[in-house]
């Protein structure tokens, strides 16, 4: 059996092995989290226990007033393995981005890191993971919110007719969570008309999130969680600004550097993407990346369509569902 532990309410339970690596909603509080293999989960607990024990030994003076010899050989744990990835600002530092900056400098490419782009202390990553893990179900909610935002409407409604009881419950819980995390100004169940009324937020950050930025957060968190599972060192950046030698400027949605050596660039498209294929090919060639390492993640793209596009172009096309499998083929 696999193990799920909620980072919000600390609820712990067993779950099916088929859920390993996927996002699971906590049955107690509804907070999204990840299911882990039992051996991996126990191993991480033991790692933290022994690191804490070494820290206690380091801080405890020996009888002669000196620190113990164990202190001298203890090595600090990897920051990425000790922090809560879904609630930290430790990734939003120059030190965390420095390996990526150095990689681009060696390519003679000017780069400007957006440090706040990987600050997960807000709720963007949690909501993005909830969306990406069940996009077919919540897609209608996203499209109606985006449509209303584009037309400057203050609200929208989600019809619940002709839906199963399970879908109604899941959609209602999702919208309620959007309201809880302040992605909606109001959430009003209208049982008389069998619909949900959603009053929208007008903050630019919320508008950008529903306009497609949610996929960037989903991709970022998927990369971080998978690298942790594989115990790989990972430097990550989101919305990274680069300037090529011909002064062409571009913004890369998500860039990851595995073990300081393996670069992965992931462009995220929640809408139309075809007009940008030539641009992506040019950037890939300029950066000297293999096609499989320059990934175009298109929300809702069918597996067959993704395979066809990958065969036509020297790029790696995937959907949000197949992203994890593609990463597994890379490292």
109 and 134 together in one domain: no
The pLDDT value given to residue 131: 98
One domain for residues 32 and 115? no
pLDDT score at 317: 98
Tell me whether residue 82 is in a domain. Answer: no
Residue 301: domain span: 94-119+215-330
Statement to judge: residues 107 and 241 lie in one domain: yes
Domain with residue 108: its CATH number is 3.40.1350.10
226: left (phi over 0), alpha (psi -120 to 50) or beta: alpha
**How confident is the model at residue 4, as a pLDDT?**
76
pLDDT at position 60 is 54
- Tokens 């959907």 belong to 319
Judge if 306 and 324 occupy the same domain. Answer: yes
E strands present in 28-122: 32-37, 110-112
Which pLDDT belongs to residue 69?
33
Q: For the chain, what is the domain count?
A: 3
pLDDT tens string 179-205? 999 999 999 999 999 999 999 999 999
- Inter-axis angle of helices 135-150 and 124-132, nearest 10: 120
Task: Give this prediction's pTM.
Answer: 0.77
Same domain, 304 and 176: no
Sites in the chain below the pLDDT cut of 50: 50, 54, 57, 62-80
Which CATH number goes with the domain that contains 182? 3.30.1370.30
Whole-number pLDDT of residue 111? 97
Which residues contact residue 268 at a Cβ distance below 8 angstroms, ignoring those fewer than 6 apart?
212, 215, 216, 218, 219, 253, 254, 297, 299
DSSP letter string over 133-198? TTHHHHHHHHHHHHHHHHTT-SEEEEE-TT--HHHHHHHHHHHHHHHHTTSEEEEEEETTTTEEEE
Give the separation between CA 258 and CA 235, rounded to whole angstroms: 7
Residue 191 included in any domain: yes
Give the pLDDT of residue 79.
46
Same-domain check for residues 100 and 220: yes
């Amino acid at each position: 059996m696999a193990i799920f532990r909620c980072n919000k309410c600390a609820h712990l339970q067993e779950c099916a092995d088929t859920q390993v690596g996927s996002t699971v909603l906590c049955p107690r509080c509804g907070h999204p989290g990840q299911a882990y293999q039992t051996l991996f989960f126990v191993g991480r607990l033991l790692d933290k226990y022994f690191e804490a024990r070494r820290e206690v030994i380091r801080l405890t003076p020996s009888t002669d007033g000196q620190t113990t010899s164990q202190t001298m050989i203890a090595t600090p744990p990897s920051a990425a393995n000790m922090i809560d990835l879904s609630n930290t600002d430790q990734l939003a530092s120059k030190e965390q981005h420095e390996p990526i900056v150095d990689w681009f400098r060696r390519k003679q490419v000017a780069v400007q890191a957006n440090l706040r782009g990987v600050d997960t202390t807000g709720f963007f990553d949690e909501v993005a993971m909830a969306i990406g893990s069940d996009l077919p179900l919540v897609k209608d909610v996203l499209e109606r919110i985006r449509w209303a935002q584009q037309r400057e409407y203050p609200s929208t409604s989600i019809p619940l007719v002709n839906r199963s009881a399970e879908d109604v419950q899941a959609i209602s819980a999702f919208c309620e969570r959007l309201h809880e995390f302040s992605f909606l100004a109001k959430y009003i169940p209208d049982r008389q008309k069998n619909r949900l009324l959603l009053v929208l937020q007008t903050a630019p950050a919320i508008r950008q999130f529903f306009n497609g930025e949610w996929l960037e957060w989903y991709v970022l968190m998927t990369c971080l969680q998978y690298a942790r599972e594989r115990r790989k060192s990972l430097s990550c950046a989101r919305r990274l600004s680069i300037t090529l030698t011909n002064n062409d400027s571009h913004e890369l949605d998500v860039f990851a550097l595995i073990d300081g050596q393996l670069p992965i660039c992931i462009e995220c498209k929640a809408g139309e993407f075809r007009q940008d294929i030539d641009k992506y090919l040019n950037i890939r060639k300029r950066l000297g990346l293999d096609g499989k390492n320059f990934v175009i993640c298109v929300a809702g793209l069918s597996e067959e369509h993704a395979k066809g596009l990958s065969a036509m172009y020297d790029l790696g096309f995937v959907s949000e569902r197949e992203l994890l499998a593609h990463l597994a083929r890379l490292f």
